[in-house]
Amino acid sequence: MENLQTSSVINMKIGICDTTFARYDMASAAINEIKQHVGNNKIIRRTVPGVKDLPVACKKLIEEEGCEVVMALGMPGPEVMDKTCAHEASTGLIQAQLMTNTHILEVFVHEDEGVDEKDLKFLADNRAREHAQNLVKMFFKKGALEKEAGMGMREGHPDKGPL
Ligand SMILES: Cc1nc2c(=O)[nH]c(=O)nc-2n(C[C@H](O)[C@H](O)[C@H](O)CO)c1C
């Protein structure tokens, strides 16, 4: 994707929220990706213990810090309890979006998605970066996502492609 830094006149506050539970620093990958495309925008990062702490942290980034979009990055573990936590966190993130009328892009990588640790690391980095690109397209490149509508795009994994 092209660098939009010079072409963009939009100046936004972008929130990035991640967890210590995650086994990869997805927030740094997302921030690095955003800065490559729209580095002139302010990025505010917060780190919380786990995914269930993300909804209120994101809501605070929006309401108290003035962020106009937030990324919520987390890694649910492989146990049934972890999957339940992830679902609860996801529901909380949707509620926070509706309460604030603001997008929170959920970027979860389930620990059992990777076939091994190397694969999991690659997946986490890739998904964080590709969702960061989605954020850039949504807010800085008018019509960019519409061009990709129905194209079977996947974040982290290879795209599926259109039917
Ligand atoms: C069981 C469990 N599993 C996960 C997980 O898979 N991924 C994660 O990020 N956090 C998990 N947590 C922690 C909670 O999200 C939360 O941090 C604590 O309940 C404290 O509020 C818990 C408690």
Instruction: Decide if 44 is inside a domain.
Output: yes
CA 31, chain centre distance (Å): 10
**Domain of residue 86, CATH code:** 3.40.50.960
Give how many domains the chain has, as a whole number.
Answer: 1
Q: Taking CB atoms and a 6 Å cutoff, what residues make up the pocket around ligand 1?
A: 19, 21, 49-53, 74, 76-77, 81-82, 85
How many angstroms is it from 82 CA to the middle of ligand 1?
7
Interface pTM, i.e. ipTM? 0.99
Q: What is the CA radius of gyration of the chain?
A: 15
Q: Which of 13, 115, 135, 12 lies closest to 73 in space, CA to CA?
A: 135
CB crowding 6-22: b at 16 or more within 10 Å, else e? eebeeebbbbbbbbebb
**59 within some domain:** yes
Q: Which of 17, 73, 81, 82 gets mutated to test ligand 1 (max ligand atoms within 8 A of its CB)?
A: 82
Q: pLDDT tens across 101-153, in order?
A: 999 999 999 999 999 999 999 999 999 999 999 999 999 999 999 999 999 99
